[in-house]
Amino acid sequence: MGLEISNDVSDLIVTFPKHEMYYLGSQLSRCSISIPSNIAEGSARTDKSFSYYIDIALGSSFELVTQLLVAYHGEYVNEKSMELLEAKIEEFQRMTMGFQNGLK
């Protein structure tokens, strides 16, 4: 799910105006890539450490929603794309929090 979100964000960013690609687009890219990257890195650790990396991935997912809202209000993201991405991110958050609770 994290990779899918990251890929969707990458596809979305290419539609941004050039002046936003380097600012908001770059920030969106970084935090969306952080989601699956932190899960992958944490998966090779102990459960306690893995939980820490999951916290970072979850934080990045909440940051991503905020940045998508900024892009939406700037009219760089249409309503349908926003709704689809929000739904995927919310599902990722629910699944990840459930998984994390199982580590404890």
pLDDT higher than threshold 80 for residue 83? yes
pLDDT tens for 11-68 read 999 999 988 878 899 999 999 999 999 999 999 888 788 999 999 999 999 999 999 9
Name the pTM for this structure.
0.92
Q: How far apart are CA 45 and CA 39, in angstroms?
A: 10
Q: Can you state the percent helix, strand and coil of the chain, rounding each to 5?
A: 85, 0, 15
Q: In the numeric block, which tokens belong to residue 72?
A: 């939406």
Q: Give the domain extent around 71.
A: 2-103
CATH code at position 93: 1.20.1440.60
Total domains in the chain come to 1
Give Cβ neighbours of residue 58 (< 8 Å, ≥ 6 apart): 93, 96, 97, 100
